[in-house]
Each structure stands twice: as C-alpha cells, then as structure tokens.
C-alpha cells in the first residue's frame, strides 16, 4: 500500500459521522473519538495501538454502518494537524505503519470517503499521537545512609525528545533538571532520615523509574509512664532517632492535677509538656498526679460558731457540710456562701466541689421583752413592753401616788413583796412585772451601826391608814446595844411611838458593847499587849507596854487581846491573877471572844537560887482565857490542854 504526500486541498462535506480511533503503543491502549464530516451518514471507526516494537504503530477502528462508505485514508506527520503523508487503506478497519524514524512524535488522523465519482472525502478526524523517542537513565537506583546526601542521573535520548523529572517523596528533592530536550542531567538531594526505619521511593525520571533507598537512623528508647490520675502522650517505650527530638505531653484527668514530672530522675515540676532535643542516649520520663483539692474558708462573727472553721481542704468532687451554731442568747442572722446570702440557715452543704469557696455566718443578739404594768394608785418606770438584749439587766422603779402605798409587786405572777424597785439581771427569757397599790402610807425601818438588832412595829402592817398610832420596839442582838431612833420617830429609848400621816422612814442604830480589861503590874517587869491601841493610864497614854502601874483597855464585844509578861533581868514572874483568881505562872496570856470586863494582875520578884526551879517552869508557858457568854465566868486552857474555871 503506497504512502502518498498529502494534497494541499481537502474534500469538503456537509454531512458528519464519527470514527472511534484507537492507538496502542507497547502495552498501553488509548482510545480517541474522531469526528469526520461527509455527505454520507455517520460511521464508527475504532483505532488501536501498535505493537511493542519501536518505529512501528498499528491503527484500528470500527467499520461504520453507512452503506455508501467506500474506504478510509490515514494521515500522519510530525506536527499536529500538519500531516506530511497519507495512505488510502481502502475499505478496511486496520493498518500497520512501519519504519517510522525514532526520535520524534507522530500525529495521526483519518478520513472517510464515499462511493461517488469522484468520491467525496470527509475532513480530518480527531487526532492521536505516538512518541517514537527512546529514553534511558543512569543510574536507575541509588542508596543513601541516614544522613542523606546528593546525587545525579544522566538522561539519554534522541535530539528533540522532551522529558521531565518528578519526585514521589518529600525527602527526595530535585534541585536541577526537572525538564529537558535531548540528553541531560537530573540533580537531586536526599534529606536526613530521623526515623529509625529505612525508606524507599520510586520516582519518574524521563519516563523511567528511578529508585532511592535510605537507611534508618540510630535509635534510642525513651521510657514514658504516668501514674494514676493522668496520662502521658506518647507513652510506653518510645523509639527516637539519633539527634532527633521528641515531645511528651502530660495531661491530668478530670479532678486531678499534675504533681511532678521527673526526667532521668530529676524533678521538672508540674509541667504539662517536655521535649527531649538532640537525643543521643536513652531516657526516662514519669509523671505523677494527685486529686485536686480546693479550700473552703469558713468564718463566724460574734455570737456563734461554724464547724469546721478556718480553711478546710476538700477533694475534687467531694462534699463538705458546715454547721452553724449560735451562742446562748444569740440567733443566726445570715449565712453567706461565696458572697451570696443563704438566709438564717443552721447548716450548708457544698456538693461536688470543683472550686474554692467561702462561707461566713453572722449572728444577732436575741432581744427579749419585759412587760411592765401598774394598777391605779401608782406607776412603774419604765412601763410597757421593754426590749432587753439577752443577758442584759433592767431595773424598774415602783412609785405610789400621793395617799397610796405599794401593795405588792408580782414578777412573772409571783409576789416579791411591796418593793419600791426590782432589777431583772442576766435576762434570758421574757418576763412580766406588775405593781399594785392601796390607799395609805408605808413605814420603812432601817437598821444602822456596827452592832446587831431588830425593830418590831405594833401594829404590824405593810400599809397604814392615815392617823394610825404606831409603837416601835428595838431589841439589841448579842454583844450589841441600842443607840437610839432617828427620822420620823426619834429618841434614845428602846421604844418610840408616833402617828403616821405620810410615808415614813425611821433609822434604828445598834452598836457593839464595850468592855474594860484592867491591868496591874507589881515589881520590875513589862507587859506587852497585842490587839488594841487604846491602852490608857493617868501618866502615859496609848502605850502598848505596862510597867509598875495600873492601866485599862477598852475592848469591843468578841475581841481578842494577847499579853506577854516580860520580867526585867534578875526578876521572874511570881504570880498571875485573872479576875482576882490566881492562875498558873505563864509568860503569855491570851483573851479570846471577850464578852465582859476583866482584871489582870502580875507580880515580878527578884531571882534567888531557891526559886530557880520555879522560874524555869515559867519560861515558854502560855494560857488562853475564853468567855462563854455574858453571864458565865470565863474558862482557862493551859499549855498542857487542861481547862480551869475561874469561878
């Protein structure tokens, strides 16, 4: 079948039909759809690829169904749509073109013609192409260590044959020669491999496969662990390449907090991440956690307490109850939680605690009421409902009107008598006080002085009608004497009579009885007295020593005197008399509970050998004299506990 040069004129047609045009090269198969314009009806022509040998291509297509198709022509050349040759293949659907020179790309199209005379030919179909260039690369593979490096690949092809180069991995970078025409060189670099495993990539260089294999880096182990309450990422045995870095993130579970992170046994504190940089050895990293705790600060004002008080530590999610207790006489005024009032509650529970809190309690002093009232005839002050703070005091004054007297005062319904005032002390509950009055006058009798006694009124009444005659009788107590009346009834006698025409007040004065203890000294000696500074004599007053004279002491009823008998050198105590009765020779005499007059007499005489024995007995001896009552004689107890009556 002869190949002809393409004419400069193309047949024109007003009809169209389609050729399915297939070309195959080596093992690949490509299908193109070509549109042909004819006066004929539409036909379908498939085009298949050539055999695997270079310089040869096989075209095939499907026969159209139109009955007037007489044959087909195949056009080709080295420029798109600019064909140098064509072949009239007749009414067949396949042709093989051979001896196509290598080193160029060929473009193919087809036309169909009918059985008219002369035949009408369609325009060109869609175009297919076939690259007839051959490529080779050297080397086709390369190996690198973990540190990476650079390399180059030589591309060999025919002049005019274009090619490209592309990398299939990020760690393989083409630094020069990503495209070219004809022979050329591709330059590339391989990045360091920080991973512990090897890696391989196959890239396309000038249509050929170029394979690079890189070994893995030297590795180390970092043992990562986390305690209860949190996690470490990554964890367990983590492999890290030599010189690489590895970051560990530490996170606490809900309700927990990081306590410490330890790296190779050294504390790093409560950090949330740690990075090992430029790893050149094995390492360890551990994290510990603890339950989060929160502080609840509890305080209470005056008048009560809160339990627990102060700062209380509470675990995350736990509960804590506080009890508020007022002191006696106080009540809860308010409880605030985190600054918000909760009212006068007696307890508060924090539940599921997840933050710090505050709780404070305020108290107020209870207020109590005393209701004071008075019947006609007088008044009470203050009156009405009187507010008293718990534990406070309150005094009420009861005053009768003119011509009236206080009849009675009732405290909480119980009588306390016709008192003119009453004080509630340490008030802890509500009370009532009521005063009642009667027509008439009151009599008030006061006792005065250092003695004792009492006064009886006849007639005896709490209130007297005007003009009533009243007789008072004063009776002195033991050891006392009556010294007289004063006020609305006056006189020194123990009886006093008067007519009452107003509220009256009378004073009765009682004093202690006075007794005289007389002391006589005969001979050369001195008596020292303890218990009074009222010793008197005619020549020298207020001396506590008595020498060769007579003295006396004025003593109150029930008083005590102590006498010390001191003979001068060369003298001794010869005789001692009490109330005219001789007693044992002693150097100390004590009078206790004196209730009558007494006399003491002591005789001192010069010492002689015959009385030495008696003198010795006198030294260091004492005696006690005690009055039983006003009428009986005194009794004496000696140093050897013998009691002797002075009758």
Res 373: pLDDT: 97
Total number of domains constituting the chain: 7
Q: Which residue is it, tokens 């059985």? A: 115
Gap between the Cα atoms of 156 and 539, Å rounded: 165
Res 607: pLDDT: 86
The pair phi, psi for residue 634, each rounded to 5°, is -75, 160
Closest CA to 611 of 567, 557, 548: 567
Q: Is the predicted pLDDT of residue 624 greater than 90, yes or no?
A: no
For residue 289, give Cα distances in angstroms to 232, 251, 286, 317: 11, 9, 10, 16
Gap between the Cα atoms of 35 and 249, Å rounded: 65
Closest CA to 139 of 120, 123, 152: 152
Q: What is the mean pLDDT of residues 235-262?
A: 94
Res 63: pLDDT: 81
For 26, residues 6+ apart whose C-beta sits below 8 A from its C-beta are: 49, 52
Question: Does 527 lie in the same domain as 637?
Answer: yes
H or E stretch including 224? strand 219-226
Res 6: pLDDT: 59
Gap between the Cα atoms of 479 and 97, Å rounded: 169
H or E stretch including 370? strand 367-374
Q: Sheet with 421-424: list strands edge to edge.
A: 378-381, 394-400, 421-424
Res 16: pLDDT: 34
| Bridging pattern class, strands 208-214 and 141-144 | parallel
Question: Does 619 lie in the same domain as 553?
Answer: yes
Res 244: pLDDT: 86
pLDDT category at 485 given cuts 50, 70, 90 is very high
| DSSP bridge partners of 379 | 399
Q: How confident is the model over 322-352, as pLDDT tens digits? A: 999 999 889 999 999 999 999 999 999 999 9
Mind spelling out the 3-state secondary structure of 419-480?
Answer: CCEEEECCCCCCEEEEEEEEECECEEEEEECCCCEEEEEECCCCCECCCEEEEEEEEECCCE
Highest mean pLDDT, choosing among 35-49, 97-111, 199-213: 199-213
Give me 627's structure tokens.
Answer: 């009055």
Domain edge (last residue) among 339, 365, 391: 365
Gap between the Cα atoms of 402 and 476, Å rounded: 35
Question: Does 519 lie in the same domain as 492?
Answer: no
Report the SS3 class of residue 21: strand
Residue 634 DSSP class: P
Res 298: pLDDT: 97
Domain edge (last residue) among 237, 257, 291: 291
| Bridging pattern class, strands 622-626 and 588-592 | parallel
Domain edge (last residue) among 473, 491, 512: 512
Q: 437 with 375: CB under 8 angstroms?
A: yes
Higher-scoring residue by pLDDT: 572, 542: 572
* Burial profile 333-369: b = 16 or more Cβ within 10 angstroms, e = fewer: bbbbbeeeeeebeeebebeebeeebebbbbbbbbebe
**pLDDT-above-90 percentage for the chain:** 55
Residue 178 DSSP class: S
Question: Does 460 lie in the same domain as 409?
Answer: no
Q: 506 with 489: CB under 8 angstroms?
A: yes
Q: 535 with 565: CB under 8 angstroms?
A: no
Closest CA to 306 of 258, 347, 256, 277: 347
pLDDT category at 4 given cuts 50, 70, 90 is low
Gap between the Cα atoms of 205 and 70, Å rounded: 46
For 117, residues 6+ apart whose C-beta sits below 8 A from its C-beta are: none
- CATH, residue 280: 2.10.70
Give me 436's structure tokens.
Answer: 């009642």
Question: Does 615 lie in the same domain as 531?
Answer: yes
pLDDT category at 526 given cuts 50, 70, 90 is confident
**pLDDT-above-70 percentage for the chain:** 84
Question: Does 504 lie in the same domain as 469?
Answer: yes
Question: Does 447 lie in the same domain as 329?
Answer: no
pTM of the model: 0.39
Q: What is the mean pLDDT of residues 481-509?
A: 93
Average pLDDT, the chain: 84
Res 388: pLDDT: 92
Concatenating the DSSP letter of every residue in 256-303 gives EEEEEEEETTEE--S-SEEEE-S--S-EEEEEEEEE-EEEEEEEE-TT
Q: 477 with 510: CB under 8 angstroms?
A: yes
Res 69: pLDDT: 92
- CATH, residue 553: 2.60.40
Q: Which domain holds residue 405?
A: 368-439
Q: What is the dihedral of CA 307, 313, 316, 317, to 10 degrees?
A: -10
Concatenating the DSSP letter of every residue in 552-608 gives EEEEETT--EEEEEEEPTTEEEEEEEETTEEE---SEEEEES--S-EEEEEEEEE--
Q: Is the predicted pLDDT of residue 644 greater than 70, yes or no?
A: no
Q: Is the predicted pLDDT of residue 112 greater than 70, yes or no?
A: yes
Res 633: pLDDT: 59
Exposure on the CB side of residue 497, measured as CA atoms within 13 A:
5
Q: Is the predicted pLDDT of residue 240 greater than 70, yes or no?
A: yes
For residue 530, give Cα distances in angstroms to 27, 225, 636: 152, 96, 19
pLDDT category at 565 given cuts 50, 70, 90 is confident
Question: Does 592 lie in the same domain as 518?
Answer: yes
Res 532: pLDDT: 64
Q: Is the predicted pLDDT of residue 52 greater than 60, yes or no?
A: no
pLDDT category at 82 given cuts 50, 70, 90 is very high
Closest CA to 72 of 21, 137, 5, 133: 21
Q: Which residue is it, tokens 């410490």? A: 260
Question: Does 77 lie in the same domain as 58?
Answer: yes
Higher-scoring residue by pLDDT: 296, 404: 296
Q: What is the mean pLDDT of residues 66-74?
A: 91
Question: Does 236 lie in the same domain as 356?
Answer: no
Res 405: pLDDT: 86
Q: Is the predicted pLDDT of residue 630 greater than 90, yes or no?
A: no
Question: Does 14 lie in the same domain as 117?
Answer: yes
H or E stretch including 613? helix 612-618
Q: Sheet with 468-476: list strands edge to edge.
A: 453-458, 468-476, 495-500
Give me 43's structure tokens.
Answer: 């036909």
CA angle (358 as vertex; 357, 362 as ends), nearest 5 = 155
Q: Which residue is it, tokens 């040869």? A: 56
Higher-scoring residue by pLDDT: 99, 447: 447
Res 45: pLDDT: 35
Q: What is the mean pLDDT of residues 467-496?
A: 92
Report the SS3 class of residue 167: coil
Q: Is the predicted pLDDT of residue 620 greater than 90, yes or no?
A: no
- CATH, residue 194: 2.60.40.10
Highest mean pLDDT, choosing among 443-457, 534-548, 573-587: 443-457
Q: Is the predicted pLDDT of residue 39 greater than 90, yes or no?
A: no
Question: Does 597 lie in the same domain as 529?
Answer: yes
Q: What is the mean pLDDT of residues 116-133?
A: 88
Closest CA to 589 of 581, 548, 610: 581
pLDDT category at 277 given cuts 50, 70, 90 is very high
pLDDT category at 554 given cuts 50, 70, 90 is confident
Q: How confident is the model over 8-32, as pLDDT tens digits? A: 333 333 333 334 444 333 323 233 3
The pair phi, psi for residue 612, each rounded to 5°, is -60, -40
Closest CA to 124 of 176, 184, 81, 160: 81
């Amino acid at each position: 079948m002869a190949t002809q040069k393409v004419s400069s004129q193309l047949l024109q047609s007003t009809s169209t039909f389609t050729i399915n045009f297939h070309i195959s090269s080596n093992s690949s198969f490509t299908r193109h759809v070509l549109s042909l314009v004819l006066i004929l009806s539409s036909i379908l022509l498939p085009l298949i690829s050539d055999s695997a040998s270079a310089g040869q291509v096989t075209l095939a297509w499907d026969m159209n169904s139109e009955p007037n198709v007489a044959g087909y022509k195949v056009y080709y050349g080295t420029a798109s749509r600019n064909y140098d040759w064509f072949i009239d293949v007749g009414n067949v659907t396949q042709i093989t073109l051979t001896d196509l020179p290598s080193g160029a790309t060929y473009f193919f199209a087809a036309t169909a013609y009918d059985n008219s005379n002369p035949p009408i030919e369609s325009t060109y179909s869609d175009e297919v192409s076939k690259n007839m260039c051959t490529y080779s690369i050297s080397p086709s593979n390369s190996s690198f260590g973990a540190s990476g490096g650079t390399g180059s690949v030589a591309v060999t092809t025919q002049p005019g044959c274009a090619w490209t180069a592309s990398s299939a991995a990020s760690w393989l970078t083409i630094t020069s020669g990503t495209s070219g025409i004809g022979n050329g060189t591709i330059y590339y670099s391989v990045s360091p491999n920080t991973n512990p495993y090897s890696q391989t990539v196959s890239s396309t260089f000038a249509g050929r496969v170029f394979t690079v294999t890189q070994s893995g880096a030297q590795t180390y182990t970092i043992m990562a662990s986390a305690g209860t309450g949190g996690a470490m990422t990554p964890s367990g045995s983590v492999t890290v390449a030599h010189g690489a870095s590895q970051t560990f993130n530490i996170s606490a579970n809900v309700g927990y907090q990081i306590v410490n992170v330890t790296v190779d046994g050294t504390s790093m504190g409560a950090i949330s991440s740690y990075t090992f940089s430029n790893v050149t050895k094995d390492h360890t990293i551990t994290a510990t956690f603890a339950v989060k705790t929160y502080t609840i600060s509890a305080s209470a004002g005056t008048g009560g307490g809160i339990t627990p008080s102060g700062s209380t530590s509470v675990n995350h999610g736990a509960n804590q109850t506080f009890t508020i207790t007022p002191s006696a006489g106080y009540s809860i005024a308010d409880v605030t939680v985190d600054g918000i009032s909760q009212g006068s509650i007696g307890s508060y529970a924090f539940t599921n605690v997840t933050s710090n809190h505050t709780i404070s309690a305020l108290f107020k002093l209870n207020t109590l009421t005393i209701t004071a009232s008075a019947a006609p005839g007088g008044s009470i002050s203050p009156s009405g409902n009187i507010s008293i703070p718990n534990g406070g005091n309150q005094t009420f004054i009861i005053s009768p009107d003119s011509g009236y007297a206080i009849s009675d005062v009732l405290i909480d319904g119980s009588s306390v008598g016709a008192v003119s005032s009453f004080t509630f002390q340490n008030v802890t509950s509500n009370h009532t006080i009521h005063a009642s009055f009667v027509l008439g006058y009151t009599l008030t009798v006061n006792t005065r002085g250092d003695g004792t006694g009492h006064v009886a009124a006849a007639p005896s009444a709490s209130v007297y009608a005007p003009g009533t005659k009243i007789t008072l009788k004063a009776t002195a107590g033991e050891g006392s004497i009556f010294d007289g009346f004063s006020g609305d009834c006056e006189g020194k006698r123990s009886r006093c009579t008067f007519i009452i025409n107003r509220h009256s007040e009378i004073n009765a004065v009682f004093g202690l009885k006075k007794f005289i203890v007389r002391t006589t000294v005969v001979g050369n000696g001195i008596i020292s007295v303890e218990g009074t500074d009222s010793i008197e004599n005619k020549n020298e007053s207020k001396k506590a020593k008595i020498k060769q004279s007579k003295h006396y002491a004025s003593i109150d009823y029930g008083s005590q005197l102590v006498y010390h008998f001191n003979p001068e050198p060369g003298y001794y105590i010869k005789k001692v008399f009490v109330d005219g009765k001789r007693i044992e020779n002693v150097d100390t005499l004590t009078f206790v509970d004196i209730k009558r007059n007494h006399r003491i007499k002591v005789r001192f005489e010069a010492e002689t050998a015959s009385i030495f024995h008696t003198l010795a007995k006198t030294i260091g001896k004492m005696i006690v004299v005690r009055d039983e009552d006003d009428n009986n004689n005194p009794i004496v107890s000696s140093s050897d506990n013998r009691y002797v009556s002075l009758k």
